[in-house]
């Protein structure tokens, strides 16, 4: 009993301060993924579209190159981030499970591409929509929630259009659902850091 340390008011403030710093850092790290993957998918979809309309031999090659490359870069970034992280918030714990569910669902759809055919991209957009909507809700960041809704609408539209138009719709969906909200999230983080 004598060795027990009394938890002072200053100790409480220090713990709260560390938790706030961790949460603020999380906003920056999350913005990286939205911006990075948004651009990877945007570039792959637009390049696929251009190669398709110019009747090039392997129009899906951008996906085959950019998605594995993106996975490697994201993996390295995640490893470095988690190695330096000392405190994990409740939201981060929940989001780990959401990320696993998102990736497992996405992988399932991609593996089933031959059976899904032209319905593949609408299914991918549905999975993107869930990811964005849940992430935005967990972070209380409305632009991601709106991005999720945009991706749901885009998915429905994609069920009714041909493959070529699906690629353009995907590009628009990731621009409005990932890239723009990602930059807004980064700006929010920077504003929190400067206190302005």
For residues 86 and 78, what is the distance between their CA atoms, to the nearest angstrom? 14
For residues 108 and 66, what is the distance between their CA atoms, to the nearest angstrom? 19
pLDDT digits (tens, 9 = 90+) for 76-125: 998 887 777 666 777 778 888 988 999 999 999 999 999 999 999 999 99
Q: What angle do CA 30, 35, 38 make, to 5 degrees?
A: 120
Please count the residues of the chain: 196
62, 51 contact by CB (below 8 A): yes
For residues 31 and 189, what is the distance between their CA atoms, to the nearest angstrom? 9
Q: State how far Cα 1 lies from the chain centre.
A: 48
Residue 130 clears pLDDT 80, i.e. is over it = yes
């Amino acid at each position: 009993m004598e060795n027990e340390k009394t938890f002072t008011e200053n100790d409480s403030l220090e713990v709260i301060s560390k938790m706030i710093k961790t949460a603020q850092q999380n906003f920056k790290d999350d913005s990286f993924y939205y911006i990075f993957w948004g651009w990877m998918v945007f570039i792959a979809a637009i390049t696929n579209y251009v190669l398709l309309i110019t009747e090039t031999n392997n129009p899906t090659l951008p996906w085959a190159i950019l998605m594995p490359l993106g996975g490697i870069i994201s993996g390295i970034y995640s490893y470095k981030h988690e190695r330096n992280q000392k405190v994990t918030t409740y939201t981060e714990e929940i989001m780990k499970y959401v990320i696993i569910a998102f990736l497992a669902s996405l992988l399932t759809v991609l593996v089933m591409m031959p059976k899904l055919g032209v319905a593949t991209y609408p299914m991918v957009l549905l999975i993107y929509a869930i990811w964005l909507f849940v992430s935005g809700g967990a972070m209380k960041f409305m632009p991601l929630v709106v991005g999720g809704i945009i991706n749901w609408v885009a998915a429905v539209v994609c069920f009714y259009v041909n493959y070529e138009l699906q690629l353009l719709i995907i590009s628009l969906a990731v621009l409005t659902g990932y890239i723009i909200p990602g930059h807004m999230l980064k700006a929010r983080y920077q504003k929190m850091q400067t206190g302005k």
